Chain A
Amino acid sequence: MTDVSNKDSNESSATTTPAHLIDKLDQAIALLEAARDFAKVGKLPRVLDTCRRVLLHQDGLSVIEARAEALENAGVFLGSDWAAPQHLVAPLSRHALTGSVDILLIETLSDLRLLAVARGQYRHPLISAEYANQYLTQILAINLDLLFNPPDEARRLHQGRLTFLPQALLEHLASHIGYEQIVDKLIGEIWRVLEQRPIQTGPAKQMITRIAACQYDPEIALTGAGADRLVSSLFGPTRASREDPGLEVYQERLATMDEMTLQTEASGFARAMHDTGLVSAYHPLLLLHLLENQENLLADALGLSSTGRDCMLCYRQLVHALIHQAVTPQTPQSIYGLALMLERGILYQSPLAPALWRQLRLQLCPEAINRLALVSLPDVPAETRLMEGVLCMLGQPLGVGQGNNPTCQSARALSMWSCNDPDYLLQMVAWAARDDEIIMHFEGQPVSSRLAGAGVALSAPIDLDPVSMVVVPHLDRIYAEMGRRCIGRVGDPHRWINPEFHGWWTGRGFRIGVDVQTGLLFETETFLRHFYASYHPFYNGNQPLIHPQPAGIAVTDSAARFIGWHAVTILRVGLDQESVMRVYFYNPNNDSGQDWGNGVVVSTAGQGERYGEASLPFEEFASRLYIFHYDPLEHGVLAAISAEELHRVMTMIQGSWGESRLPETPMQMLPD
């Protein structure tokens, strides 16, 4: 377990800030304060740089915190987003804390200011102490992993001598806000993330480990419900593992258990696993034990329904081989992936079983082994880690995340293949892992991932699930190359790329709501009527969506300001339990629960979502949509949406990402 006071990794100098440096800071602040607004920009670098030097000292955070009000009044945040703390978005702090020195510094100053507000030392005109407190709690929850993860290479490169700062800052915040508050929030946060059933559980597991440490701390009173379920699902989900005895002891206990006890253990593990999506390291020991000694309990240990049980019995040998290769205490999530894959019944698709046999015997190329080593514990064979990833991707198609990389297209493709064309996915994995090359075709011409130039991501991703680690670099280069082959064409390249890249089922019909040349809104009303006609069951003859379809979203922040274009998959459209028509979609972003502003909040649970799905009411989704595909042979007539509904959607567009994109001629006239 992680030591709560992780002082060793704190690289800041152990000295206190020298008086002359504090004087210089105060002088720099005074100069900024005295400057006229037009000249402040020239005085700011000195303030920031002096703050940076102060922060290199042990008491630097306190020194800055004590000057938080002076800094803000002097104009440190003037003209930036931080000037309006009431609009700050906690999730963006992550980017700031892992970004380059300048943005890290501003974020640090801002967070310390909020701390001063939260502690009642600074009465802020725009935010209350309670608000500051709540916001900092979110910051801590979102960045808690920075508290115990060693900094990655990117941060070392960008932050230099300040690499220690995010951790020191979060510790400083936590020690004043109080761990118990974060822990409670954190528990809620972990549950929210886990409800989306991500393939990558590392961050959640680390946070739970942290909570477990708090449970043993007598000074922290845990009140949050659900902490126990989280902690026990990892460290003691069953009667025989309740007190976290350690793997060796548990292995010994297994040897002495009778069938009844094994049965209890099996269902205990299965319950915890399906409850949280997390798998305890003890679970693999039981599964392997059952495989040798009590095979009849295997289905119980996997928590299978009759579908999964049936599937397992049909493919008994294959399932055994998969368990042997993939399931170890270092790769426990493979069990969850296996269970969900069996439940999906996809093994009944005839290419799948032989494709998995190929995967079992696949000779990995050195490049793949190296990439897998980046995301594996030591001593875990690359084949094992990759198979764990394969099982998880097949079992949790909507659990694929793009990590901290601009590769949403590739993540979306992997997820879509797992949903729709799993044997094709396995083919891709085989090519990438064995041959270090994927060849796709673009309009009849081969595109090799080896010959293609750079991808969208400038450096190879290092924070993905095993399958993505191996396949995404190839997909990303191919995607970028397809884009290059569209250079010079009039219109948005996704029109041609999406069907070729994702699969034949992507509609060749294509509509975009933005004029590519000018970036202005384009034929918005027709665009919307067409979208309704293609996707809305009330307007398309009650036809459920057949294949997942790629779509483009204009992502907005919580103040409804345009952030960027983003790739999602429309999965289905249907009524929720309150008879609201909703679009259920997959977002390759790691956490789909986002606030897009003006009341558009993406839901991930509680509105009929399946694990990994995000959803919005149809109108709200339509208000952020800018690209969709359709079958040109089935597009039907434009939907006769009511004027009010059309007006509502258009108002939402104009009030968010469309605000600065209004065409010179007014948007089409609304019908009477």
Chain B
Amino acid sequence: MTAPIKKDVNKGYIALLGWSLNAVEAAANFDRRYIVVAPDWAEPYCTEHNIPYLPWNFERLNDRSMEIAEKLRDLGVDAAVPLFEETVEWAGAINSVLMDNPRLFGQSMLMRDKSLMKRRAQLGGIRVGIFEEAHDRDDVIRFLKRVNQTLLKLDGDPNDPIHFKAFDKAGCLGHRVIRTPDDVDAIPEEEFPALMESHLDGWEFAVEAWIHNGKIAFLNISEYVTLGYSVYVPASPALEEYRPQIRQQIEKLIRTFDIEFGFIHPEYFVTSDGEMYFGEVAYRPPGFKVFELLERVYGFNAYQALILCFDPKATAEEVREFFPREVVDAKGYAGCFGVYPRRRVVSTLQIPEETESHAYFESHELTAPMEETVTKRTAFGTHWGLVYFVGDDADTLHKLLKHQEELDFYL
């Protein structure tokens, strides 16, 4: 059994907003005091395992928002760390009270609205694709037409797709690719309002940046093999060549959004001419277990890094010592692949033999199917679980991840 970590009362006291076992574990192993703020279903688990806990149901912000902020302030909490998209505005509201800085709340609202976020980026001189808000299906049809007219397509030419993203959903949830009016009909009512963007052919990647005192403390580039399917860190040498430009872009983003501390997770495209387009940015840990991948190759715990960068009592020196050197300190490449069943009816989980006997294969978190019929995928939906790979060569890993798309994990 691991001995409890000695907590340093001179360092910050952190509230984790939302339930994530990995985050809790990281906090338990870190020298900061912490408290988990999560819905009441987490209570028995926290009680059983002596995890500091405060019950709170994160619905829409309401007039009780002040209550949780004051509760945390009274406990002596210094900062609130959002773990999920839904808790970002809560963290903003709470931190604006804890740190006596009302601007933080407005900043967090920007992060929660994809359309506002884009406009702000545009105002800051950051390149974005063509985008527009959609309030109903007619808006979507109009945008699809206009984008394709702009691209000088004739009637009958296959449309270039547009991207449709529900305003306030995290990552790939509610992200649809629209090519035809039929696709438009398939959008459920509750996904409006939404942001529409033109499609950019290019290299898509994401960045994880930890920020302290308004400066980048650590910057990782995550390379997507196929959006919604696979990602690996650090990026391939070819993409890493763009690191200086990417760094500039992130610095621009930090200035534009006026971010002093914490962590951002933006997405970009590099088009074939080397131009970088901003996609969106989130103020919370990325999905697809990128934190776990980073720990695997760099050895530092990304959740602890998160806590550190939110802690107003963290010193510049401590931050500097915490992080490894970017890229050069990474031991190999770590990637993961999100499995979707390829058949309509499945009954068993069977990891393909070629996958699990590959030297790069590390582990998986797939479980046996609960239902036999696979729901048709509409948006970039939720995968059934991740498969992890680790290896020394980015190219091998890239091809390996791509190849998984052709294999059946569920039969």
User: Are A and B a genuine interacting pair, yes or no?
Assistant: yes
B-binding residues in A (CB < 8 A): 18, 20, 24, 28, 34-39, 42, 45-46, 49-50, 53, 160-161
Can you give 19 contacting A-B residue pairs, CB < 8 Å? A20-B359, A24-B363, A36-B2, A36-B25, A36-B29, A36-B49, A37-B1, A37-B49, A38-B28, A38-B45, A38-B48, A38-B49, A39-B21, A39-B24, A45-B365, A49-B364, A50-B363, A53-B357, A160-B350
What residue in chain A is nearest B365 (Cβ atoms)?
Answer: A45
Determine the chain A residues whose CB is within 8 A of the CB of B216 once the complex forms.
none
Question: In this complex, what residue of A is CB-closest to B50?
Answer: A38
Q: In chain A, what residue has the closest Cβ to B368?
A: A100
Q: Could you mark each residue 353-367 of chain B with 1 if its beta carbon is under 8 Å from any beta carbon of chain A, else 0?
A: 100110100111100
Within the complex, what minimum Cβ distance (angstroms) separates A526 from chain B? 38
Q: Please state if A18 and B359 are interface contacts (CB–CB under 8 Å).
A: yes
Cα A42 to Cα B292 with chains together (Å): 13
Interface residue? B22 (CB, 8 A) = yes
> In the assembled complex, how far is the CB of residue B270 from the closest CB belonging to chain A, in whole angstroms?
33
Q: Is the CB of A24 within 8 A of B24?
A: no
B170 lies within 8 A of chain A by Cβ? no
Residues of A within 8 Å of B379, CB to CB, are none
With contacts A42-B22, A160-B350 taken as known, whether A35 is within 8 angstroms of B362 at the C-beta atoms is no
Find out whether the CB atom of A24 lies under 8 angstroms from the CB atom of B362: yes
The residue on A at minimum CB distance from B296 is A27
B1: chain A residues within 8 A (beta carbon): 37
CA distance A340 to B28 in the complex (A): 71
- Beta-carbon nearest neighbor of A19 in chain B: B359
Contact among B24, B29, B48, B356 with A53 in the assembled complex (CB-CB below 8 Å)? B356
B266 to chain A, nearest CB (A): 28
A-B contacts at CB below 8 angstroms, number: 44
Chain A contact residues: over half helix, strand or loop, or mixed?
helix
- The reply on B141 being an interface residue by CB < 8 A is no
Q: What chain A residues lie within 8 Å of B49 (beta carbons)?
A: 36-38
Chain B at the A interface: mostly helix, strand, loop or mixed? mixed
Contact bitstring B32-52, A, C-beta under 8 A = 1, else 0 = 000000000000010011010
Known pairs A24-B362, A36-B28, A38-B25; list 18 more (Cβ under 8 Å): A18-B359, A20-B359, A34-B2, A35-B2, A35-B25, A36-B29, A36-B49, A37-B1, A37-B49, A38-B24, A45-B365, A46-B362, A46-B363, A46-B365, A49-B364, A50-B363, A53-B356, A161-B353
Contact across chains for B51 and A38 when beta carbons are under 8 A apart: yes
CA distance A42 to B2 in the complex (A): 16
**Contact of A28 with B363 in the complex, beta carbons under 8 Å:** yes
In the complex, what residue of chain B is closest to A18 when comparing beta carbons? B359
Q: Write out the residue numbers on chain A whose beta carbons fall within 8 Å of the beta carbon of B24.
A: 38-39
**Complex CA–CA separation, A49 to B363 (angstroms):** 7
Interface size on B, residues (CB 8 A): 22
Q: In whole angstroms, how far apart are the Cα atoms of A568 and B1 in the complex?
A: 46
- Docked CA distance A161–B45 (Å): 36
B2 CB contacts on chain A under 8 angstroms: 34-36
CB distance from A659 to the nearest CB of B (A): 22
Distance (whole angstroms) from the CB of B361 to the closest CB of chain A: 8
Nearest-neighbour CB distance to chain A for B271, whole angstroms, equals 38
Instruction: Select the residue from B29, B353, B359, B363 with max chain A CB neighbours within 10 A.
Output: B363
- Chain A residues whose C-beta falls within 8 Å of the C-beta of B365 in the assembled complex: 45-46
Report the separation of the CA atoms of residues A42 and B363 in the bound assembly, to the nearest whole angstrom: 12
CA distance A24 to B362 in the complex (A): 7
Task: Give A423 to B348 CA distance when docked, in angstroms.
Answer: 47
Distance between B219 CB and nearest chain A CB, rounded to angstroms: 26
A42 touches B362 (CB 8 A): no
Complex Cα gap A49–B350 (Å): 12
- A495 CA / B15 CA spacing, docked (Å): 58
CB of B21 within 8 A of CB of A42, answer yes
- Contact partners of A36 in chain B: CB under 8 A: 2, 25, 28-29, 49
Give min CB distance, B388 to chain A, whole Å.
Answer: 8
Top 8 closest A-B pairs, CB basis?
A38-B49, A39-B25, A46-B363, A20-B359, A36-B28, A42-B21, A36-B2, A39-B21
- Complex Cα distance, B368 from A45, in Å, reads 13
> Which residues from B are CB-within-8-Å of A50?
363
**Cβ distance A410 to chain B, nearest Cβ, rounded Å:** 28
Q: Give Cα A161 to B349, complex, Å.
A: 12
In the bound assembly, the distance between CA atoms of A39 and B28 in angstroms comes to 10
Collect the chain A residues with CB atoms within 8 Å of residue B28's CB.
36, 38-39
The answer for the CA separation of A50 and B365 in the assembled complex, in Å, is 12
Task: Kindly list chain B residues whose C-beta atoms are within 8 Å of the C-beta of A34.
Answer: 2
Q: What's the Cα separation between A439 and B49 when bound, in Å?
A: 57
Residues on the A chain within 8 Å of B25, using CB = 35-36, 38-39, 42
Q: Inside 8 A of A35's CB, which chain B residues have their CB?
A: 2, 25
Task: Report Cα–Cα, A45/B21, bound state, in Å.
Answer: 15
Bound-complex Cα distance A34 to B348 (A): 32
Q: Looking across the interface, which residue of chain B has its beta carbon closest to that of A47?
A: B363
**Smallest CB separation, A102 vs chain B (Å):** 9
Residues from chain A with a CB closer than 8 A to the CB of B45 are 38
In the complex, per-residue mask of B132-143: 1 if CB is within 8 Å of any chain A CB, else 0: 000000000000
Nearest CB of chain B from residue A155's CB, rounded to whole Å = 14
Q: Which residues of A contact B29 (CB under 8 A)?
A: 36
| Contact partners of A45 in chain B: CB under 8 A | 363, 365
A18 contacts across to B, CB distance below 8 A:
359
Q: Which residues of A contact B353 (CB under 8 A)?
A: 161
Chain B, residue nearest A158 (CB): B348
Rounded to whole angstroms, the CA-CA distance of A35 and B301 in the bound complex is 13
With both chains docked as a complex, state the minimum distance between the C-beta of B381 and any C-beta of chain A, in angstroms: 23
The smallest beta-carbon distance between A449 and chain B, in angstroms, is 28
> How far apart sit A36 and B48, CA to CA, in the bound complex (Å)?
13
What is the minimal beta-carbon distance from A245 to any residue of chain B, in angstroms?
49
Closest to A50 in B: B363
A residues less than 8 Å from B22 (CB atoms): 39, 42
Q: Which residues of B contact A37 (CB under 8 A)?
A: 1, 49
Q: How far is the CB of B365 from chain A (nearest CB, A)?
A: 6
Chain B residues with CB under 8 Å of A39's CB are 21-22, 24-25, 28
CB distance from A10 to the nearest CB of B (A): 18
Provide the bound-state CA to CA distance between A35 and B25, in Å: 8
**Binary contact readout B1-31 vs A (1 if CB under 8 angstroms, 0 otherwise):** 1100000000000000000011011001100
Q: A53 to chain B: which residues have CB within 8 Å?
A: 356-357
Residues of A within 8 A of B364 (CB): 49
Bound Cα distance A297, B350 (Å): 62
Bound Cα distance from A18 to B356, whole angstroms: 13
Report the Cα distance A259→B45, complex, angstroms: 81
CB contacts (< 8 Å) of A20 on chain B: these are: 359
Q: Mark B324-362, 1 if CB is under 8 A from A, else 0.
A: 000000000000000000000000101001001101001
Nearest chain A CB to B35's CB is how many angstroms away? Answer: 15
- By beta carbon, the residue of chain A nearest B391 is A20
Q: CB-CB < 8 A to B348: which residues of A? A: 160
How far, in whole Å, are A42 and B49 apart by their CA atoms in the complex?
Answer: 14
Q: Given the complex of chains A and B, what is the CA–CA distance between A36 and B348 in angstroms?
A: 32
Closest B-chain residue to A27, C-beta based?
Answer: B362
Docked Cα-Cα span, A2 to B45, in Å, equals 53
Nearest CB of B to A105, in Å = 14
List residues of chain B with CB within 8 A of the CB of A161: 353
B356 CB contacts on chain A under 8 angstroms: 53
The residue on A at minimum CB distance from B390 is: A24
Chain A nearest CB from B48 CB (Å) reads 8
Taking the closest CB of chain A, its distance from the CB of B226, in whole angstroms, is 24
Smallest beta-carbon distance A24→chain B, Å? 6
Measured between alpha carbons, how far is A34 from B299 in the docked complex, in Å?
14
Write out the residue numbers on chain B whose beta carbons fall within 8 Å of the beta carbon of A42: 21-22, 25
CB-nearest residue of chain B to A102: B368
Task: Find chain B residues with CB under 8 A from A28 CB.
Answer: 363
